[in-house]
Amino acid sequence: MQLSLYNTLNRKVEPFIPIEEGKALMYCCGPTVYNYAHIGNLRTYLFEDILRRTLEYNGYDVRHVMNITDVGHLSDDGDEGEDKMVKSAREKGKTITEIADMYTQAFFQDTDALNILRPTISCKATDHVTDMIALIERLEAKGHTYTAGGNVYFSIDTFPRYGELARLKVEDLQAGARIVVDPNKRNPMDFVLWFTQSKFANQAMVWPSPWGVGYPGWHIECSAMSIKYLGETFDLHCGGIDHIPVHHTNEIAQSEAATGKRWVNYWIHGEFLINETGKLSKSKGEFLTLSYLKERGYHPLDYRYFCLGGHYRSQLVFSWQALDSAKSARERLVKQVLALKGEAGSPSLTLSEGGRSYIETFIGHLNNDLNAPRALATIWTLLKDEELASDEKLALLYEADKILGLGLKDVKEEIVVIPEEVQALVDQRLEAKAAKEWAKADELRVIVEEMGYSLKDTSEGTIVTKICNQNSR
């Protein structure tokens, strides 16, 4: 079945047709490494991972490039702000490089834990300043730039299609409604390609350039690096929905103005994770990181499962209750896999007609603009199908998990080391049970539970498991 994706450029679901048959060239906007990623940021990488895995499942050789932004963004205080990297370094008493390395590492720790496949190429902005300068020079040579107040600006009036992606009507925008307009700009929508006039003192990260010592503007890195690694026209560009009006709009302007070619064929944007009060933010309310979720007793894949339950183009409402549901569902799924493994031993090597139809339905949903919730529902339906043998169910789950990425192939029974004193109590309880001293047996159960272990009496004997952290509010 043909893979179709919603293309922001045309605002509709379109069949995916790559530039080169069998290949998919994909660029994803990566993190600014000045702080930990919050779970909303991670939702976007999760959706991109589903996209990548779906492309690969469809047989495409995916070249997946992601930038690591370690320079050049202002903090949220508008023009009075400070470079986020510099600020973070100052606050933590570290060098900028240390900060970048630390948060880059933390980022990949999170994405690894979520089973997000690493990009084919991840590239740091600071390693590509010469590429950015070269691109600005191309723009300059074609007359798309001007210098004012020491900075190099992109002139949007030289690019008639400006704002096409976001469907901006330039004349209707209230420039400066929320920030002070830079008086050097000819058009309020113009943006800086290269700064030499630092807006903040002691700018630590500067490079020599034809326009003077300075640092690159906020958008140029993505254009420079994507063109370098994917070419002047490539297939897919992904990111959060917030990037449409400014970041991606500006990227398109500078890239296409420089090359004179169509830059990206498919723009794929993920919606936000929100909570009951609206958008998640790094500055207000709880700063929800994956580590925090882990502290509260959730497995990283509980969060992956949670995100799979909503469509990537819809806002998803985060709540602890919703995450609890995902946790219960994922744990049940894991138990089912374990049970199937026990029954079947190994997955079936061939599929019946019925089995094949499930996998077709499954991939059909994903190929229809990544409908992961439907795909997931197919899994549950399949598990309930009495016509299917265990080994076939297992094979189907493994197959589906190539895209779902829930690590189903790797699940194992948890081996719990039981402390001697707990084991002694368990043994005492068994004796009590044998003697039908139920009151005593129940009393011992309570004691053991208070020590953090739960007991299950089965036909095979008593099973002792460690009680996980309680995580309801």
Partner RNA sequence: GGUGCCGUACCCAAGUGGUAAGGGACAGGUCUGCAAAACCUCUAUUCACCGGUUCGAAUCCGGUCGGCACCUCCA
Restricted to residues 203-232, the positions that interact with RNA (CB under 7 A) are: 218
Q: Using CA atoms, how far apart are residues 300 and 213, in angstroms rounded to an integer?
A: 44
351-410: which residues touch RNA (CB under 7 A)? 371, 373-374, 376-377, 380-381, 384
Query: Residue 281: enclosing H or E segment and its boundaries?
Result: none
Near RNA by CB under 7 A: residue from 2, 105, 130, 319: 319
Judge whether 63 and 120 are in contact, CB under 8 Å: yes
Q: How far is the CB of 178 from RNA (least distance, A)?
A: 4
- First-last CA distance in the chain: 44
412-451: which residues touch RNA (CB under 7 A)? 433, 438-439, 441-442, 445
Q: How far is the CB of 181 from RNA (least distance, A)?
A: 9
Q: How far is the CB of 315 from RNA (least distance, A)?
A: 6
The CB density around residue 80, as the number of other CB atoms within 10 Å, is: 10
- Residue 178 engages RNA in binding (rule: CB under 7 A): yes
Q: Which is nearer to RNA, 23 or 198 (CB)?
A: 198
Q: Which is nearer to RNA, 232 or 331 (CB)?
A: 331
Contacts of 87 (CB under 8 A, 6+ apart): 34, 75
Residue type, 162: Y
105-144: which residues touch RNA (CB under 7 A)? none
Q: Which is nearer to RNA, 349 or 439 (CB)?
A: 439
34-73: which residues touch RNA (CB under 7 A)? 37-38, 40-41, 43-44, 73
Stretch of 106-114, 226-234, 392-400, 456-464 contacting RNA, by CB under 7 A: 456-464
The bridge status of strand 453-458 relative to strand 316-317 is unpaired
- Residue 321 engages RNA in binding (rule: CB under 7 A): yes
Q: What number of chain residues touch RNA (CB under 7 A)?
A: 83
Q: How far is the CB of 326 from RNA (least distance, A)?
A: 7
For residue 277, which of 261, 264, 288 has the smallest C-alpha distance? Answer: 288
233-252: which residues touch RNA (CB under 7 A)? 239-247
Q: How far is the CB of 86 from RNA (least distance, A)?
A: 13
Q: Using CA atoms, how far apart are residues 182 and 77, in angstroms rounded to an integer?
A: 14
- Residue 472 engages RNA in binding (rule: CB under 7 A): no
Contacts of 302 (CB under 8 A, 6+ apart): 293, 323, 326, 327, 330
- Residue 315 engages RNA in binding (rule: CB under 7 A): yes
The CB density around residue 317, as the number of other CB atoms within 10 Å, is: 11
SS (H, E, C) 387-443: CCCHHHHHHHHHHHHHHHCCCHHHCCCCCCCCCHHHHHHHHHHHHHHHCCCHHHHHH
Write out the DSSP string of 156-183.
Answer: GGG-TTTTTTTT--GGG--TTSSSPPPT
Near RNA by CB under 7 A: residue from 150, 297, 309, 354: 309
- Residue 10 engages RNA in binding (rule: CB under 7 A): no
Q: How far is the CB of 83 from RNA (least distance, A)?
A: 10
- Residue 75 engages RNA in binding (rule: CB under 7 A): yes
Stretch of 51-59, 60-68, 100-108, 327-335 contacting RNA, by CB under 7 A: 327-335
Q: How far is the CB of 61 from RNA (least distance, A)?
A: 25
Structure tokens at 80: 């009075």
For residue 60, which of 27, 4, 21 has the smallest C-alpha distance? Answer: 21
Strand partners, 455: 464
Q: How far is the CB of 39 from RNA (least distance, A)?
A: 8
Near RNA by CB under 7 A: residue from 92, 279, 356, 409: 279
Stretch of 57-65, 105-113, 229-237, 323-331 contacting RNA, by CB under 7 A: 323-331
Stretch of 227-235, 289-297, 303-311, 406-414 contacting RNA, by CB under 7 A: 303-311
- Residue 343 engages RNA in binding (rule: CB under 7 A): no
Q: How far is the CB of 20 from RNA (least distance, A)?
A: 27
Q: Which is nearer to RNA, 417 or 439 (CB)?
A: 439
User: Where are the alpha helices (H) located in 280-319, listed in sequence order?
Assistant: 290-295, 300-308
Compute the chain's Rg from CA coordinates: 27
Where in 215-357 does DSSP place strands (E)?
Answer: 215-216, 234-240, 264-270, 273-275, 278-279, 316-317
Q: Which is nearer to RNA, 98 or 385 (CB)?
A: 385
Q: Using CA atoms, how far apart are residues 125 and 213, in angstroms rounded to an integer?
A: 17
Stretch of 93-101, 275-283, 341-349, 392-400 contacting RNA, by CB under 7 A: 275-283
